[in-house]
A and B are shown apart, each in its own frame.
Chain A
Amino acid sequence: MNMMSEAAVEKALDQKMNAVPFKMIGKDVSVYYGEKRALFDVNLNVRENTVTALIGPSGCGKSTFLRTLNRMNDTIDNCRVTGKITLDEEDIYDPAIDVVELRARVGMVFQKPNPFPKSIYENVSYGPKIHGLARSKADFDQIVEQSLQKAGLWNEVKDRLHEPGTGLSGGQQQRLCIARAVAVSPEVILMDEPCSALDPIATAKVEELIHELRTNFTIVIVTHSMQQAARVSQRTAMFHLGNLVEENDTDKMFTNPDDQRTQDYIMGRFG
């Protein structure tokens, strides 16, 4: 057998990863909170059907960048975004864009599970209802079941769909929130530290879920757990003091990163 040289293997891998098209493109993205600048000309692209992890110390801008991807920053009064972000080549900051529709295409899961104070069923059916994605009871039933299936929660809740969502355990609540995000058939799912309030078993379930969701969705996840970033993502981006320091294949990032700051951060050497 002909052994491929190391350089050839690396090139083949690069080509494989490079062949994956970009779902979202961020160009020269800067964010200001009033006078304070939180992001400095970040150029970061998100590949389709890929899990991209954003890592970095607290206050480095990773959550800020995540929130620019579905204009969550719009809800903050003095927040200003410059640069360009596209979803399938469409500028999401174009004034003609309907933000509600954008957020249906780019869904979000937050750090703390935040189910509505309603039944499990209504938590999942709410999105499709306001977006007019279903009409008949049968349609809603189907969306609720499929979404809960995708979120790996169906078997645990199918007999109590009309009980309050807030009555579930923390891990179940988070998967309910993922089901709620999935229910409106988004293209991209943003996750902001989705496991930081969960125990290791619930975390493992969510990670398993992220792995499965990747076949249908593009996922961007902010996480403080380096091990989690290494486990769930294919690409990793490292932020520091509002700058994008390095973006690389996850395997490379956690074994032999290019940038010294990445190296120091992932090895726990930041002074």
Chain B
Amino acid sequence: MSTHIVSVYDEDLKYLTRRISEMGGLAEQMVAESVRALVNADLALAQKVISDDTILDEAERQIGEKAIVTIAKRQPMAADLREIMGSIRIAADLERVGDLGKNTAKRVIAVSSASLPRQLARGLEHLAELALMQLKEVLDVYASRSPEKANSIRERDNEIDAIYTSLFRELLTYMMEDPRNITPCTHLLFCAKNIERIGDHATNIAETIYYMATGAQPVGERPKDDTANTVGAIGN
């Protein structure tokens, strides 16, 4: 796309893009570290994730402020306006991703005292790998602004949902086997939910990018395979 007649306007937009990419990188790192801290019972790493969250929060605030000032100053139209509104939304999603990583990190202490079956940790790791891959790809799509790729990410969120549901069942089984598992497994349940939510935020971001690129909302319902909310109900 050609540049603006007023070149500082381009600088304003570039600032937003750059800060979003930075936020994305940090959010990714926080999620990866929080899961690693959980699996390895690494309290120091968990602590680092918790303190990193303030950086992410601050970045979101700065992006919001820049966006407001740019709207006031430049009265953006069409693709520029969508770009700026999209930045605000994506920054909010990434900030939430950071919060979810932080929440997982906070549970490390509670879970680390119990010995976890290796298999369960692997299940969580696998879930996290998928969520992180979604996040990484959606950040790549943010850089390329390809509406087709944004759509394909959106279609894939149900993989994460399916694994989350099976993990949910597994955790229930452990709790039924031995009531002493209930405390750590409940924490793990929350961790799994946190990671599953990251997939949802990646999907949100994909939808925002699609809108930024095309000016239209993606068509059709989001694919869902999250049946954990009915696990244990009669007939299931």
Contact = CB atoms under 8 A, between A and B. Distances in A.
Contact of B6 (A264, A266, A268): A268
A268 B9 contact: yes
B134 to A, nearest CB: 25
Q: Determine the main DSSP class of A at the interface with B.
A: helix
Interface string A1-22: 0000111000000000000000
A7 B79 CA distance: 21
Interface of A: 5-7, 226-227, 230, 254-257, 263-264, 266-271
Interface string B47-91: 000000000000000000000000000111111111000000000
A269 B1 CA distance: 9
Contacts of B3: 269, 271
Contacts of B183: none
A82 B81 CA distance: 39
Interface stretch (B15-23, B147-155, B200-208, B212-220): B212-220
A255 B82 contact: yes
A269 B5 contact: yes
Report the contact-size class of chain B (Cβ under 8 Å from the partner): 20 to 34
A87 to B, nearest CB: 32
B162 to A, nearest CB: 26
27 contacts: A5-B219, A6-B217, A7-B219, A227-B75, A230-B77, A254-B77, A255-B78, A255-B81, A255-B82, A256-B78, A256-B82, A256-B214, A256-B216, A257-B78, A263-B78, A266-B77, A267-B77, A267-B78, A267-B79, A267-B80, A268-B6, A268-B74, A269-B1, A269-B2, A269-B3, A269-B5, A271-B2
B2 A264 contact: yes
Contacts of A230: 77
B4 interface: yes
A253 to B, nearest CB: 8
Nearest to B211: A256
Nearest to A5: B219
Nearest to A258: B215
Give the most central of B77, B215, B219: most A CB within 10 Å: B77
A226 B216 contact: no
Contact of A263 (B4, B74, B76, B79): B79
A6 B218 CA distance: 10
Give the most central of B2, B74, B216: most A CB within 10 Å: B2
B78 A270 contact: no
A59 to B, nearest CB: 17
Contacts of A5: 219
A4 B52 CA distance: 43
A268 B13 CA distance: 14
Given A6-B219, A254-B77, 10 more contacts: A256-B78, A256-B214, A266-B77, A266-B78, A268-B4, A268-B74, A269-B2, A269-B3, A269-B4, A269-B5
Nearest to A225: B75
Interface in B162-184: none
A173 to B, nearest CB: 27
Contacts of A256: 78, 82, 214-216
Interface string B1-36: 111111001000000000000000000000000000
